[in-house]
């Protein structure tokens, strides 16, 4: 039996589930960037981070049932300890996301939504580098950085 793998742009071959989860994370982050509503931005950003974490768990494998990991954030900390600070940060936002899901749109301030969106984007970048260590960041040759 052969396993099919998909290519991530600029990456080697990775499992289709990892590619799918990263694409869903990207879609959530795009949606977060397109909305002016802080509650929606928070929810999309948190879901983007959740999909990124799920991609790492899919890449590394689920921890054993004996680990008692109950959430993707718990599993992430177990399978990739280097990302455990992100686990703690995003797990803290789960209550706010649940409040918004329950209709409490006033549970999020614009500042919180902006912060979690920036963090979710940074986390997604870290996950991309974990999936493909060669991805790096390429500086466009026609752009120059000028000191201010």
Position 65 scores a pLDDT of 73
Reading the chain (148 residues) residue by residue, the pLDDT tens digits are 333 344 444 445 778 899 899 999 999 999 999 999 999 999 999 999 999 999 999 999 877 777 676 889 999 999 999 999 999 999 999 899 999 989 998 889 999 999 999 999 999 999 998 988 765 544 445 544 444 4
Comparing CA positions, the residue from 48, 56, 53, 58 lying closest to residue 25 is 48
Q: Give domain status of residue 84, yes or no.
A: yes
For 42, the domain range is: 6-131
Count of H helices and E strands in the chain? 6, 2
- The token pair at 33 is 């960037």
Domain tally, the chain: 1
Q: How many Cβ atoms sit within 10 Å of the Cβ of residue 49?
A: 30
In a domain, 35, yes or no: yes
Q: Residue 136: what pLDDT?
A: 52
Q: Which two tokens stand for residue 126?
A: 């870290």
Residue 139 forms part of a structural domain? no
Residue 137 belongs to a domain: no
Q: Would you say residue 111 lies in a domain?
A: yes
Q: Is residue 37 part of a domain?
A: yes
Residue 106 CB-density burial (10 A; 0-12 exposed, 13-18 middle, 19+ buried): exposed
Residue 143 lies in a domain: no
């Amino acid at each position: 039996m052969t396993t099919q793998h998909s290519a991530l742009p600029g990456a080697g071959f990775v499992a289709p589930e990892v590619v799918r989860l990263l694409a869903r994370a990207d879609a959530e982050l795009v949606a977060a960037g397109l909305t002016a509503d802080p509650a929606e931005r928070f929810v999309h950003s948190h879901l983007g981070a959740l999909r990124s974490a799920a991609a790492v768990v899919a890449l590394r494998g689920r921890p054993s049932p004996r680990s008692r990991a109950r959430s993707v954030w718990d599993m992430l900390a177990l399978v990739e300890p280097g990302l455990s600070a992100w686990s703690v940060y995003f797990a803290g936002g789960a209550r706010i996301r649940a409040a918004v899901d329950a209709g409490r749109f006033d549970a999020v301030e614009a500042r919180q939504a902006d912060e979690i969106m920036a963090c979710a984007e940074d986390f997604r970048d870290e996950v991309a580098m974990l999936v493909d260590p060669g991805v790096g960041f390429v500086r466009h040759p026609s752009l120059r950085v000028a000191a201010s």
